[in-house]
């Protein structure tokens, strides 16, 4: 680092440190709640505009545990976070950085990477909101796995400590080096603390490498009248024409039997959002079949389709067309500036990920609904909650997530030195976030009780 660069680095560190005057790090422990919060009303609000007959399935998945409820209701924490102190540093954030939104996937160069893999809620916001959501998810995951609160708090402290140290490192690299940085599989494997964690990583890598387009073909398709067709597996994946009872008046196009004709212009619009070379590649494929796919927890009821395309040699390309709604952060930060919610998702993903899907783009569909498009399961794999047999394995995964999050924040905001200055080198910030996470996890459990009671009394 040159003398001038070092001076700039020190200036930005000092700027970040000065932000502690308005928001001391100890204040990050505060767990205040939105005074107007109404959990049942928020649940109803998030269900508006979804496929009505799938809403019970969404609630059923959320009813599995406080952790599942937390995954499905990012809006509640967003509303509460808006009432808490923050450092005043705003950048593009994930918006839903919980533990299960990280995993392995392939870069366009086919290298196995670890990163955030869900950007449905990405939006400009206080960077602390991401790390607080991740921290709370670790506490809830620890409790679900039967680990005690001491282990949960320690896992959060390790997580935030990793974020802090990584941010200090990123603060001292050039913007170009930061843009090229990534968290690769080999890097994580080399840092695995014991053989059990190494074996878990190797198993995940093997699973990811088995999720290629060619290997998906026999799993997801069947031969009918000499033509490939997506395999029905209701209620997870099914052809729209065969499920007429699912569709309301607003979604008649999904079940009319000629969705293919409606998808073609959507695909053309999407194609126009790709870079020229990728557009050329996509034009070498033809649409063969499409089916509705129910995904995730929070996304259940939004419109999501799987599309099967084939090239001249009948080799497959599986694309996922997923509805993009307004980010839950928008109400509490600023309006979307992209003109299309799918474009918002794509922009945030490209800005925060080390490398994004070759076919990532956006489009608009019937009813002026916004969508984004990506490959389906392209070497993607993430651990299940049940795979964390020990507190140590959960802690290790949380640290990997924190590393990926620090890199994403440093890249998206270009303000790593300022963030490092605010966080500092002691564990004060770590302890504050841990206290917040423990308190807010208690609140999630209370909200979960309200949710389950509302289901029992048929308020939802």
| Alpha-carbon span 25 to 85, nearest angstrom | 9
Average pLDDT over residues 93-97: 97
Q: Considering only 41-55, 74-88, 211-225, 303-317, which range has the smallest mean pLDDT?
A: 211-225
Split at pLDDT 50, 70, 90, the class of 208 is confident
> Does residue 140 contact residue 66 with C-beta atoms inside 8 Å?
yes
Which tokens belong to 395?
């802690």
Mean predicted lDDT score pLDDT of the chain: 91
Minimal CA–CA distance to 23: which of 83, 82, 87? Answer: 87
What percent of the chain shows pLDDT beyond 70?
95
Which tokens belong to 177?
């080096």
Alpha carbon separation from 430 to 3, 137, 241, 363 (Å, rounded): 31, 15, 52, 41
Alpha carbon separation from 421 to 163, 170, 415 (Å, rounded): 13, 12, 10
Domain regions of the chain by residue span: 3-208+382-456, 213-375
Split at pLDDT 50, 70, 90, the class of 301 is confident
| Alpha-carbon span 79 to 73, nearest angstrom | 11
- Mind listing the pLDDT tens digit for each residue in 265-299? 999 999 999 999 999 999 999 999 998 888 878 88
Minimal CA–CA distance to 396: which of 103, 158, 67? Answer: 158
pLDDT of residue 98: 97
Which tokens belong to 25?
């790090």
Q: Is the pLDDT of residue 181 over 60?
A: yes
- Mind listing the pLDDT tens digit for each residue in 112-166? 889 999 999 999 999 999 999 999 999 999 999 999 999 999 999 999 999 999 9
- Mind listing the pLDDT tens digit for each residue in 218-274? 888 888 877 888 888 887 888 876 555 455 555 655 555 566 778 889 999 999 999
pLDDT of residue 210: 78
pLDDT of residue 220: 84
Select the more confidently predicted residue: 8 or 212: 8
Q: Is the pLDDT of residue 76 over 70?
A: yes
Sign of the Cα torsion 266, 344, 96, 101 reads: positive
Select the more confidently predicted residue: 413 or 203: 413
Burial environment of residue 68 by CB neighbours within 10 A (0 to 12, 13 to 18, 19 or more): buried
Average pLDDT over residues 420-426: 97
Average pLDDT over residues 174-190: 90
| Alpha-carbon span 255 to 243, nearest angstrom | 7
pLDDT of residue 28: 98
| Omega prior to 340 cis, within 30 of 0 | no
pLDDT of residue 3: 72
Average pLDDT over residues 15-37: 95
Q: Is the pLDDT of residue 344 over 80?
A: yes
């Amino acid at each position: 680092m040159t003398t001038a660069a070092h001076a700039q680095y020190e200036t930005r560190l000092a700027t970040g440190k000065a932000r502690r005057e308005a928001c001391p790090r100890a204040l990050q422990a505060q767990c205040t709640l939105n005074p107007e919060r109404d959990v049942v009303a928020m649940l109803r609000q998030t269900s508006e505009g979804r496929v009505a007959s799938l809403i019970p399935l969404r609630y059923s998945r959320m009813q599995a545990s406080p952790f599942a409820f937390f995954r499905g209701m990012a809006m509640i924490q967003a509303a509460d976070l808006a009432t808490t102190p923050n450092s005043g540093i705003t950048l593009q954030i994930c918006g839903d950085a919980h533990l299960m939104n990280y995993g392995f996937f392939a870069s366009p160069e086919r290298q196995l990477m670890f990163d955030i893999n869900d950007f449905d809620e990405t939006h400009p916001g206080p960077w602390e909101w991401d790390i607080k959501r991740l921290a709370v998810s670790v506490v809830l995951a620890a409790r679900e796995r039967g680990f005690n609160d001491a282990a949960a708090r320690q896992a959060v402290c390790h997580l935030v400590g990793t974020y802090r140290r990584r941010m200090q490192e990123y603060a001292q690299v050039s913007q170009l080096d930061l843009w090229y940085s990534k968290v690769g599989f080999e890097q994580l494997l080399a840092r695995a603390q014991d053989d059990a964690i190494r074996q878990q990583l190797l198993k995940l890598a093997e699973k990811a490498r088995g999720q290629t387009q060619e290997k998906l073909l026999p799993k997801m398709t069947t031969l009918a009248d000499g033509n490939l067709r997506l395999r029905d597996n209701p209620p997870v994946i099914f052809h729209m024409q065969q499920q007429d009872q699912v569709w309301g008046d607003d979604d008649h196009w999904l079940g009319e039997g000629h969705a293919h004709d409606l998808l073609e212009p959507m695909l053309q619009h999407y194609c126009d959002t790709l870079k020229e070379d990728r557009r050329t590649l996509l034009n070498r494929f033809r649409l063969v079949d499409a089916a509705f796919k129910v995904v995730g927890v929070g996304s259940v009821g939004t419109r999501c389709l799987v599309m099967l395309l084939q090239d001249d040699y009948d080799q497959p390309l599986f694309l996922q067309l997923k509805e993009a709604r307004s980010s839950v952060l928008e109400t509490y930060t600023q309006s979307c500036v992209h003109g299309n919610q799918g474009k918002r998702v794509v922009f945030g993903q490209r800005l925060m990920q080390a490398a994004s899907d070759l076919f990532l783009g956006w489009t608009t569909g019937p009813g002026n609904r916004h969508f984004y498009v990506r490959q389906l399961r392209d070497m993607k794999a993430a651990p299940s909650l049940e795979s964390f047999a020990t507190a140590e394995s959960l802690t290790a995964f949380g640290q990997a997530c924190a590393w990926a999050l620090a890199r994403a924040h440093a890249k998206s905001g270009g303000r790593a030195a300022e963030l490092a200055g605010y966080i500092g080198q002691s564990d004060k910030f770590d302890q504050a976030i841990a206290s917040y996470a423990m308190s807010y996890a208690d609140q999630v459990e209370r909200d979960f009780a309200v949710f389950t009671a509302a289901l029992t009394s048929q308020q939802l």
